[in-house]
Structure 1
Amino acid sequence: MTTAPDPVRAASFRSRFRARQKLVGTFIKTPSIHATEILGGLGFDFVVIDEEHAPFNRETTDQILLAARAARIAGIVRVADISQALSVLDCGAEGILIPHVDSAERARKAVAACRYRGGSRGFSNSSRAGGYGALGIAAHVTENDERVTVIAMIEDPSAIEVIDEILAVEGLDGIFIGRGDLTVAYGETTMSCEATTAATAKVLAAARRAGKPAAIMTAGAEESAGHMRNGASCFITASDQGFLRQAASAVLAAYGALPAALEPETSNV
C-alpha cells in the first residue's frame, strides 16, 4: 500500500539525523527520476544518489534531486570527491556523503566545502538551492548552512585509528560506516569477519561518546536491529537496482515452478 508523502521528511532530514531518529533509505544507482519518486511515495526517508560508483553527471543528479523534492524525500548525494560538493549543493541536495574521510583534516575540508559561514562554499543564490534568486544573500546563507547535512564515510583502517579526532570536527553532522571498503582493505571477503566487526563496534562506540549519529548499510531490518542496539540510527538498505533484482528474481523463481512446456494435446478419436 502506498503511503502518502510526509511534507516534513525532506526538510527536516538534518534535524532528524542529528537527533538520531531512525531513518531508512537506499542508494540510487540508475540515472532516472522514477525510483526516487516511487521510494518517496512509499515513505522512505531518504535516497543516496551515488555519483561515486554509478553513471551520474550534473544533469541527471539535478533531475533526481528535483524528483526528491517533488516526492518529499531527502536527496543525499555521495560525491566521488570533495570538489564535487558545490555543484550538488547548488542543485539542492539535502546532504553530502564524503568518501574516504580518514583524518580530521579531511573531515574539516569536507565541512568547509559545504558551509558558507566558517567554510569555503562558493556563493550563488541563483540555483535551486537559492530559489533561483528568491532568497537574498543572508537568507540563502542561513537556510543552506542550517539545512545541509555533512556525513563522513569511515571506510579506511587508518580512519578507525583516529575516529575520535574525526568525530570531534566541528560542523560534521555524523558518520557512515563503509563496511564493504573496510572488509576489502582488511583482506577479507565477508563483512561479518572479525576485523570489520571490531572496527564497526569501535566506530559506533566513538559516535556514542561524541553524541553524533552513525549510518550503516545493512541487509535489512533484522540486521539493522542489531546495529541499532549498538548505536546506529540511520540505515541504507540495498539500492534501486538491488530492489529490482530481488523482486525480479522472486518472480522468475515463482515461474520456475510451472511446467517447462504445455503437454501435447491428445486426440479423443
Structure 2
Amino acid sequence: MPAPVNTLKHRLQAGETLIGCWLGMAEPYLAEISATAGFDWLLIDGEHAPNDIRSMAAQLAVLDAGGASTVIRLPDDDPARIKQALDIGAQTLLIPMVESAGQAERIYRATRYPPLGFRGVGSALARASKFAAIPDYLTTADDQICVLAQVESRAGLQALDGILANDGIDGVFIGPSDLAADMGHIGRPAEPAVKEAVLDALRRIRAAGRIAGVLSMDPAYITDCRDAGANFLGVGIDVTLFAGAMRAHASKFKQST
C-alpha cells in the first residue's frame, strides 16, 4: 500500500485554481469547524500563530478526518521542523522567507528520503505512515510531497528565476505584506509598486509551469492576482474573520439598546 495521494498537489499541478483560508486560532475544534466551510484547502499557520508540533498534529488529524486538503506553514526552513511536519502527516508545506536558489534546494532535500535528500527515516513512529500500517510509505512518500516556497522580499524576487529552476519546488507563494514592508511600504500591500511586483512574480511563476500562490483579503486584489495566474489563492484568515464577526455582532446589538 503506497502513501496517500496528495490530491491538492495534483489538482494544483493540473492548473486548477483553488481557494483556501489561513488557520491561526491554534485550536482543533475551530479547525474542524473550518473544514465544514467548503474551502478547497486550509493552512495551519506555524509561523505567526501560536502553534507547536503537537497543536499542528491535532489540527491535521481533524482536518484529515473531515476530508480537507491541508497545508502547514512552518516558522522557518529548519530541516528538523520539516522532518517533524512530514512525520505528523503533512504532505504540503509552505516555507517562509525563501531568498535564494541554494535555500530552495536545501528545503527540497529536507523533504525527500535518500538518495534524493536527507529526510530522516522514522516512519514506524509516524502518523504519516499510519504508524507503519502503510508498508510502502518509505518508497512512495516522496512523490506525494508538495513544497511551496514563500518569497516575500526583494532578495527573494531577485532570486526567483533560480528558485524556479529547481524542479523540486512545486510552487512559489508571494507574500504581499512582508514584501511591502521590505519595499518601504509597510502596511500597504496594495501600493502600486508593491502590487505590480506581486503580479509580475505571479506571471513568472505560472510561465515556469509552477503553482503560484498569494494571500489577500481584498477581493479586487485577489481578482488581479488570479488574472495574473495565481491558482493557490488564500482569501481569508480565521482570526480576522472571527474577530470581525464578533465585533460586528456586538456593535449591532449595542447600537440598538
TM-score (norm 1): 0.87
Question: In structure 2, what is the equivalent of residue 92 of structure 1?
Answer: 89
The equivalent residue for 1:175 is: 172
Aligned to 1:236: 234
Which has the greater radius of gyration? 1
C-alpha displacement at 1:181, in angstroms?
0.6
CA distance in 2, matches of 1:100, 1:68: 26
CA distance in 2, matches of 1:92, 1:115: 14
Q: In the TM superposition, what are the counterparts of 1:55-204 in structure 2 within 5 Å? A: 55-83=50-78, 84-117=81-114, 118-126=116-124, 127-136=126-135, 139-189=136-186, 190-204=188-202
**Alpha-carbon shift at residue 256 of structure 1 (Å):** 3.5
- Retained in 1: the 8 A contact 2:93–2:148? yes
- Residue 45 of structure 2 is aligned to residue 47 of structure 1: no
Gaps of 5+ in 1: 1-9, 260-269
Separation of aligned partners in 2, 1:143 and 1:73: 21
1:97 partner SS: strand
Structure 1 counterpart SS, 2:119:
coil
Greater CA drift, 99-108 or 37-46? 37-46
Q: Would the aligned equivalents of 1:36 and 1:71 in 2 still touch at CA under 8 Å?
A: no
Contact kept, 8 Å, 1:125 with 1:135, in 2: the verdict is no
Aligned amino acid, residue 129 of structure 2: G
Post-superposition Cα deviations, 1:192-232, rounded to whole Å, max 9, x if no partner, equal 11331122122112112211111100115443222111100
| Residue 178 of structure 1: how far off its partner (Å) | 0.7
Q: CA deviation at 1:101?
A: 0.8
CA contact (8 A) 1:74 1:94 kept: no
Q: State the match for 1:224 in structure 2.
A: 222
User: 4+ runs of 1 displaced by more than 4 Å?
Assistant: none
Change (3 A) 1:142 1:43: farther
Residue 38, structure 1, aligned to residue 37, structure 2: no
Q: Pick from 23, 27, 50: which aligns with 1:28? A: 23
Confirm whether residue 13 of structure 1 aligns to residue 22 of structure 2: no
Whole-Å Cα distance in 2 between the matches of residues 223 and 194 of structure 1? 11
Q: Distance in 2 between matches of 1:253 and 1:222?
A: 27
Hey, what's the Cα distance between the residues in 1 that align with 2:183 and 2:223?
25
C-alpha distance in 2 between matches for 1:82 and 1:162: 17
1:215 to 213, 216, 236: 213
Structure 2 CA distance, aligned partners of 1:55 and 1:208? 32
Structure 2 regions of 5+ residues with no counterpart?
none
Which segment drifts farther, 155-164 or 214-223?
Answer: 214-223
Shift of 1:106: 0.6
User: Structure 1 residues 70 and 221 mapped into 2: Cα distance closer, same or farther (>3 Å)?
Assistant: farther
Counterpart amino acid of residue 223 in structure 2: A
Higher mean displacement: 95-104 or 185-194:
185-194
Determine if contact 2:199/2:224 at 8 Å carries over to the other structure. Answer: no
Encode CA deviations 1:116-155: one digit per residue, 9 max, x unaligned.
Answer: 251111112221111101123xx21343212221000010
Query: Residue 192 of structure 1: SS of its match in structure 2?
Result: coil
Q: Partner residue of 1:263?
A: none
Give the count of matched residue pairs: 248
Could you tell me which amino acid in structure 2 is paired with residue 134 of structure 1?
Answer: A
CA deviations on 1:20-67 (whole Å, 9 max, x unpaired) are 312111221122112221121222122211111121111111101101
The DSSP-based 3-state class of the residue aligned with 1:133 is coil
